[in-house]
Amino acid sequence: MAIDGSGQRRPKTAAAELDAYVREFRAGGYPVPRVVHAACARCGGSEFRVRVDDEAGYADRTCHPCGDRWVMLDGLDVAEDADPGDAACLCGGERFDVAVGFTLCEDGEVRWGSVGLRCTADGVLGVYADWKIDYSPSGHLMARV
C-alpha cells in the first residue's frame, strides 16, 4: 500500500495507512498480527493529543473533542514514575489518530506494544513509543488502547 502524505483527512484510508505503518515497524522484530485503533469511550472521537514516556513504557491520550483522558495499555502500573512528554509532529501538529500494534506470544498473550500516531494536520506517520510486555496474562492490554 502506498502511504499518502497529502494531509487530507480520509478516515478509512488514514486507518489503513496507520495499520500498515505499525505492522511494518515490527516491534522487537516480531510480526504484528493485531492493530487496535483508539476511540474515545465518552464521545467516540478519534483525534487525540498524546503524551508518551518511551523509557517508562507509558502513554496516555486526551480526546480532542471532549477532553476525556485515558492511560493506555499498562501505563497505570508505571504512571507514578513516568515523565511523559507531548507528542508532536514535525509540522507542529499535536492531534493524532492513534493505534497500537501488538506482537503476540505463541499462547496469544501480548509480547510487545507499539503506539503509532498519524498527524491529522499533515498525515505523517510515526511510532512514538513501544515497549516489551514481560508478564502474563497480558491479553487484556488489547482493550486498553
Q: What is the pLDDT of residue 142?
A: 82
Q: Name the average pLDDT for the chain.
A: 89
Q: Is the pLDDT of residue 37 over 90?
A: yes
Percentage above 90 pLDDT, the chain: 73
Q: What mean pLDDT is predicted for residues 114-133?
A: 94
Distance of CA 129 to the CA centre of its chain: 8
Q: Which residue has the higher pLDDT, 92 or 131?
A: 92
Tell the burial category of 112 from Cβ atoms under 10 Å away from its Cβ (0-12, 13-18, 19+).
Answer: buried
Q: What is the pLDDT of residue 4?
A: 44
Q: What is the pLDDT of residue 52?
A: 97
**pLDDT interval class at 83 (50, 70, 90):** very high
Spell out the domain ranges in the chain. 11-143
Whole-prediction pTM value? 0.88
